[in-house]
Structure 1
């Protein structure tokens, strides 16, 4: 999965549906949990909408027995996740 540009609150449902579709098509099914790699290196702006989107994507992955792993999280994203008390979302690949 690749997220780039600027995330707005309106993007969150679409991103979660994209992840659900990915997990349904390529997910573990009855097998062991899989890691979903999410490339966030192309984010143009990091804000609370970004954190909300990543938190919801994390929950979506967990509901499907998978784990969201961030690829290329920048220092601004890592600092914001720490600031809001969600450093576990920055489980980088």
Structure 2
């Protein structure tokens, strides 16, 4: 089954976290509140994030809770930069989410269903 995918890019700030959670909820539930694709996995592509920090770790933890509340789904991360992997391991979240889930190019995967730019501009 094609996974539900949320793509996060830019710099994630603490102020952006509620919006990211709302975006994932919109992907998981229809307008009537019924779960969409109940058997589908939940993937979060973080390859476009420009800074791995504790705000991003908080966002991942909260997105993981949203996924679990949607029928016990587990959040799988795609394109995890090494510094984010280290942070997740340091705070004990490496066991809560699936890390290193491919490159975003899984065989048979459909189009990305959600794309969210986190509000803050990247460096440059």
Give the TM-score, by structure 2 length.
Answer: 0.67
Gaps of 5+ in 1: none
Distance in 2, Cα, partners of 1:44 & 1:90: 20
8 Å contact 2:7–2:45 — kept in the other structure?
Answer: yes
Larger RCO, structure (CA 8 Å, separation 6 or more): 2
TM-score under structure 1 normalisation? 0.88
Tell me the residue number matched to 2:19.
14
Higher share of residues assigned helix: 1
Confirm or deny: 8 A CA contact 1:54 1:89 kept in the other structure.
no
Q: Is 2:95 the counterpart of 1:88?
A: yes
1 or 2, which has the higher strand percentage? 1
Q: Is residue 27 from structure 1 mapped to residue 36 from structure 2 by the alignment?
A: yes
Q: CA–CA distance in 2 between the matches of 1:83 and 1:68? A: 18
1:62 pairs, out of 57, 68, 72, with 68
**Whose Rg is larger?**
2
Specify every segment of 5 or more residues in structure 2 that has no aligned partner in the other structure, as ranges. Answer: 1-5, 102-124
Secondary structure of the structure 2 residue equivalent to 1:45: coil
Q: Distance in 2 between matches of 1:78 and 1:22?
A: 25
Given candidates 47, 50, 53, the residue that maps to 1:44 is 50
More displaced stretch, 78-87 vs 19-28: 19-28
Let me know the Cα RMSD of the aligned residues.
1.5
Alignment size in residue pairs: 90
